[in-house]
Every structure is written in C-alpha cells, then in structure tokens.
Chains A and B, each alone.
Chain A
Amino acid sequence: MSTFLRRLALFLVVLGLVAWGLDRTLKAGLRARTTFTLGVWNRLVDGKIQADVLFCGSSRALMHFDAATIGKATGRSCYNIGMDGNQLNHQLPWLITYLKYNRPPELIIQNVDMISLSPDTDVFFPSQYPPYLNEDPIYEDLRNTAPDWWKDRYIPLYSFTRFGYGYAALGVKGLLGLEDTLHDPLHFGFQRKDLNWDGGFDEFKKRFPKGLRRFNEESARNTLRAIIRTAQEKGSKVVLVYTPELGEMQRLTLNREEVMDVYRSIAAESGIPFWDFSTATFCEDRNYFYNSQHLNARGVDLFTPMIADSIAAYVGNKP
C-alpha cells in the first residue's frame, strides 16, 4: 500500500507541476493578448489606459461610446470599458480594478439603462475572467454569483476544461504574438456595429404587446451608488448617462418613469448630473438602431457629437 501511495503521490506531484506550469504559461499568454475583450482588460490591469474620460456600463456603453472620436472632439484621452451582457454588480469590480492600476479619470461616464436595476445572477461571457482571478474584487464578485469560481482560481487548468482547447489556443497565440489585429472589433474599447435593423424587436413586441415592467431592485440601486462613491472618492467626476433607446421600446416599458426617477434621484443625492439622450429625435427612427437597445454605426455617428459636446461643456475643452 505504501509503495502504491508513494508512487501515486509522486505521479500526482509531477502531474500537478505540469498542470500548474501549463496553466501559468497559458494564462500568461491570455494576459499578453492585446486584442478583443482580453486586450481591453489587459490594458486595464497593466495600467496602460490612463484615460481622462472613462466610459463604463453594459453593452449599451460598449457599443455607443466611440471613445476615439469623442477623445478627438474633446481633446481628452478617452476609453470605453463597457461590458457586454454584464450588469452593475459585475461592472463595479472592474472599475475598482481600473482605479487600482490607472490614475483616476477626470470624468467617468456611467451608462445606465432599463435593465440596470436588476443584478446579474449569472456571468455572461465567463471566459473573459480567468486571467484576472487574483484581483480580489473581481474574484469576490464572481464567487457571489457562482461559488464554483474557486475552482478556476485554485485548480490548475480548470478554466481550460470549461472553455476548451480554443481558449488554450488563445493563450498560445497571445504568447507567440499571433493575434488577429486586423479583425479586432474593439477600438479604444468601443465596438462599432455596422448592422441594419435585425427585426428581433418585432418578435419581442408580439410577446409583450401590452408592454412590460422592468426591475427596480434595492441591491442594484446600492451598487450604482457604490460605483459613484468609488469614483468620487478617487476624485473623479461622475455623470450618469442614459444613451439613445428606440422610442417604440421606451413606450413598451410600463414603469419607465419610475426607473428614470431612480436615476434622477441617485444622481441628485450624489450631486452629479444625469444626461438623458433617449429623447433625441432619431430615437424614433429604426434606421439608426440594429435592435431596440443598441445604435448601429449610423446611430453612433449621430450620437457621438452630442455626447462629445456635453462632455466638453461639462469639463471644458482641452486644446
């Protein structure tokens, strides 16, 4: 028995070392990536963003704030860390991490929308997280959502069993510098969607012909307050922004005013402005959207000067 246990232990040690070494290597490769979402997060934790204006929020931030163009218009360096499919509870740890490695921005634009007041109970696009699990705020947030995340942090190669060899291949490509820079959809963190109206909203309308109510949860309201407080404590100005939303969709939301009042009141109690761009006239035209929540490239081109002017008016133009 002791021979067996000794041999097994030795084998497991060797296996553990190989697994640990590979895990470190592949994650180093993921951490070396400069494109796509991991490229954004790598810049963030490497302290390479250092933006004057930082755009935060969910996919509506990601796809609405053309950071490079706004930067040119305002004379400030801008960057977008909007997160597709992730609500405020997942956005807060990234903001804390940003502030840990980058100088506090002069201005933080926090986008909110009709579903912001409902915390995520799962993790969308989980493969973006494993290289950053040693960041405590990020890890704790994931653990709060799904306790199993400890396996990703402590079991070597566990993340690669979840996301497959394609994920390992990303790490290898990152190590070797073999990235597809030509097709990176993100430019200063902004994702431009050159798409036409996709028609999904019509199906949605059929499902909810009388409209629907959106969540308004205390925990989400507190998270939004925490985001504002975190930024303000570092000396950043904060603005809450509601970016353009299709008018038809606005009218389908039965408690829209209730949700907007929450934003107005949180902004007021925090002493920050709340900019509502959902009243823009082009919100009534489907040609500027690819779905009810997201502007397409044409819509972004209309929206960009509007937000740039507002920013310039709020913090002043830099030459």
Chain B
Amino acid sequence: MTAWGFLPDLSEYDSQQMADLHFVAMQSIDGRVSTHEEVRDTGRQLASLLGDQAAGLCARRLRGSPMSALDDVVLAEAGNARYDTIPQIEKAVDDGYPVPISTQGGGEGHQMMIIGHAGNQLEIYNPWGYTYWVSEDSFSGGDIAEGTPGLPGTPVSVRLPQGVK
C-alpha cells in the first residue's frame, strides 16, 4: 500500500494499468473532465481500476491461508511410503486441516478428503455422496475403496498443510 493508505502499490501495476490510470488522472487534472456526468464516469473508471487491483492483492494474500498453502506429497507404490505418511495426515486432520487425497484404480482417478481421525481409523469424505471410515491398514495396503464398485481406491498423493512434516 502507498502512504495514501487506500491505494495499492503502483509498482504492482502492469504497463497497461499504469497507462489507464494515468489517462484517467490527467483527464481529471487538466480540466478535460468538466461536466458532472464526466466526473462521475471518470470516478467510476478510477474506482474500477483500483478495485481490480485491490482484488488482485486480496487474492495474493489468500494464497497464504492454510488451505491454499498445501504441499503435494506423492505416495510411492510401496506400502511403506503410505504408512510413513499416516502420522502427518493424522496430525493435519487433528489440527483441523482436511487433507485432500488423490486415488487411482481401474484406469480412473478420483479426489476425496480425509476429514477425521480416531484411533487407527481415518474418516474419508467421498464427494460421490457419503462419509466412511477406513483403517490405517487399508490405507497402507493401498486400497481405501472398501469394496465400493468403481471407486478408485489406491492412494497416490495427499496434500498436506505446509509445516506438517
């Protein structure tokens, strides 16, 4: 932000945005904008420009929020890699971060969310329309479909919050 407080940092403007802003500002300054309607319209242009910039700044800030600061952890084919990841998954879930998980099977891929943990069980939300529990053994063994026909059940990657290692 600039010293004006409400203005974004102009160093983040690209050349077109700078040109647009300069054009609007010059119109206002040198009196080419004289009527009430022109002042109003110019103000709207300026507000639109600044609004777009503010939205961009907001988006950049949100990229730092916990759910957007996720690390992809690829689970190797070997069961040991999946087993080794379980403590990280459980810590993330216990800390309040649902963990997105990608699965494969039958030539298809799927995305689900690990949302809970109790004992040696993981609670999984399947966007197909239900929540269910699987054991750590099923996860380590590479099949969390629990016999559901057509559900790709082999975990291939999870997305953990940064810092949960």
A binds B: no
